């Protein structure tokens, strides 16, 4: 079109100079006589043909659906339409996970993540194209996210956790197709999408930590991270029930729908503690817990099945949460604090039975549960810190952290209760 310009009289004219209120006025130095210039001019005319100028002031209008209004949703649809058909991947925008994870998944599906194979394919000088995690194969998406030992171990843990058969993966997209094609209910698919997105993201973060050699996550806690992130009320926003409000009932409905049909124990959901603690309690209730004994019984190689805290007995769930010497001491202090006499429990079931028998109101029952869940969780954290932590934790802070965790959780969730720290310290369960 540049050639037409040079034939214009007065090339610095304004649009208004060429518009007479009803149509365009063209002024040429010499008549246009066919050829390239004329063809360009014809094209220009068709392009501006629909444009009508007014006397109004100039303004920016961002109006994608012709209703004079700018909305983020329109923009996103517009970008999707613009960008995605060429990539052949529709955005799987999942409202339940953070934007950064959505963008990450989208880049992964388009093969735009800077894996070593991709970088070297684009001519970047890199030390190695081998997988930074295992060093056993070329690092591409399929290897990093599915075939690599860490990834495949994580996925099998995730599938076990969700109690669904694992997927056959030959391409990154397969995992989402498998979710879609499965015969689950919509709501279960949603949950699965959250977990799958989170899992991919955690694997990528782990890989980056290895590459950049920054305090990397421990392999053994990756699955816990995924579980926690997937259902963390602080970071992830739940919208499944259509409202923006995070709703514990909704999450519980999903968890029940997606994982519980085969579990014998009903969820004993507690409104005073965070989701992760509830999920933890549910795992305890169904004995789905990676104690050394449980791992060994599942055929996983463990160095030892002895309790990592006392080294004296087999590490079963009952042992680590109730019967280990550290646990007995902590439960003793909790009993004192709650002003209750209680036996050494043998299982989660026995504990809840005892709570039911001793509680005359639902409110009291829920409060006792909250304290007990917190106690179990603190003990389990202590155990993990014993196994993986450096330096090893000290057990004299356990009781204090039970008191402060439960106080914070309780106050955050029951703002009307004008309870202060001193009252909580002395008599947590008094009304």
Q: Which stretch binds Zn ion (CB under 5 A): 108-116, 307-315, 340-348, 372-380?
A: 307-315
Measured CA to CA, the distance from residue 278 to residue 71 in angstroms comes to 38
Q: Least distance (Å) from Zn ion to the CB of residue 143? A: 6
Q: Which stretch binds Zn ion (CB under 5 A): 45-53, 275-283, 306-314, 400-408?
A: 306-314
Q: Least distance (Å) from Zn ion to the CB of residue 317? A: 12
- Pick from 310, 314, 329, 387 the residue near Zn ion by CB under 5 A: 310
Q: Least distance (Å) from Zn ion to the CB of residue 298? A: 21
| Interacting residues of 15 by C-beta distance below 8 A, sequence separation 6+ | 53
**133 binds Zn ion per the rule CB under 5 A:** yes
- Region of residue 311 (left: phi > 0; alpha: psi -120 to 50; beta: else): left
- Pick from 89, 105, 109, 148 the residue near Zn ion by CB under 5 A: 148
Between the alpha carbon of residue 426 and those of residues 7, 104, 336, the distances in Å are 92, 48, 10
Query: 148 or 330: whose CB is closer to Zn ion?
Result: 148
Q: Least distance (Å) from Zn ion to the CB of residue 294? A: 15
Minimal CA–CA distance to 282: which of 381, 377, 186, 393? 377
**131 binds Zn ion per the rule CB under 5 A:** yes
On the CB side of 113, CA atoms within 13 Å amount to 23
Q: Least distance (Å) from Zn ion to the CB of residue 268? A: 25
Between the alpha carbon of residue 226 and those of residues 1, 78, 158, 334, 400, the distances in Å are 56, 32, 9, 30, 28
Q: Which stretch binds Zn ion (CB under 5 A): 52-60, 99-107, 172-180, 316-324?
A: 316-324
**134 binds Zn ion per the rule CB under 5 A:** yes
Q: Which stretch binds Zn ion (CB under 5 A): 69-77, 87-95, 101-109, 322-330?
A: 322-330
Q: Least distance (Å) from Zn ion to the CB of residue 42? A: 59
Q: What angle do helix axes 186-212 and 149-162 make, rounded to 10 degrees?
A: 150
Alpha helix locations (H) across 359-420? 362-388, 398-413
Q: Which residues bind Zn ion (CB under 5 A)?
A: 131, 133-134, 148, 307, 309-310, 324
């Amino acid at each position: 079109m540049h050639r037409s310009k040079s034939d214009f009289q007065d090339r610095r004219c304004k649009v208004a100079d060429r518009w007479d209120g009803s149509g365009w006025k063209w002024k040429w130095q010499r008549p246009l006589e066919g050829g390239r210039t004329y063809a360009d001019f014809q094209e220009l005319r068709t392009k501006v043909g629909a444009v009508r100028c007014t006397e109004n002031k100039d303004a920016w209008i961002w109006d994608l659906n012709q209703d004079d209004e700018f909305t983020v949703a329109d923009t996103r649809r517009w970008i999707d339409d613009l960008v995605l058909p060429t990539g052949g991947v529709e955005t799987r925008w999942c409202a339940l996970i953070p934007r950064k994870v959505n963008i990450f998944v989208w880049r992964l599906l388009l093969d735009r993540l800077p894996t070593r194979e991709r970088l070297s394919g684009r001519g970047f000088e890199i030390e190695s194209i081998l997988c930074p995690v295992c060093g056993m194969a070329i690092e591409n998406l399929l290897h990093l996210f599915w075939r690599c030992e860490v990834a495949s171990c994580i996925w099998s843990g995730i599938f076990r956790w969700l109690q669904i058969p694992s997927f056959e993966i030959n391409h990154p997209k397969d995992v989402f197709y498998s979710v879609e094609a499965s015969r689950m209910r919509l709501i279960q698919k949603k949950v699965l999408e959250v977990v799958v997105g989170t899992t991919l993201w955690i694997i990528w973060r782990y890989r980056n930590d290895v590459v950049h050699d920054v305090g990397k996550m421990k392999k053994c806690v990756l699955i816990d991270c995924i579980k926690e992130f997937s259902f963390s009320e602080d970071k992830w926003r739940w919208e499944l029930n259509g409202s923006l409000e995070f709703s514990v009932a909704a999450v519980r409905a999903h968890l029940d729908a997606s994982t519980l049909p085969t579990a014998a124990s009903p969820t004993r959901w507690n409104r005073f503690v965070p989701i992760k603690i509830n999920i933890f309690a549910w795992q305890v209730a169904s004995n789905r817990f990676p104690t050394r004994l449980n791992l060994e019984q599942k055929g996983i190689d463990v160095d030892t099945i002895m309790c990592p805290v006392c080294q004296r007995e087999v590490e079963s769930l009952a042992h680590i949460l109730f019967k280990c010497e550290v646990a007995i001491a902590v439960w003793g202090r909790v009993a004192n604090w709650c002003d209750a006499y209680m036996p050494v429990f043998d299982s989660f079931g026995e504990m809840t039975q005892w709570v039911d028998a001793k509680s005359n109101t639902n409110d009291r029952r829920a409060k006792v549960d909250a304290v007990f869940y917190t106690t179990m969780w603190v003990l389990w954290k202590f155990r993990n810190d014993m196994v993986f932590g450096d330096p090893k934790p000290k057990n004299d802070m356990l009781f204090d952290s039970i008191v402060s965790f439960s106080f914070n959780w309780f106050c955050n969730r029951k703002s009307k209760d004008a309870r202060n720290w001193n009252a909580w310290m002395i008599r947590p369960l008094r009304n």
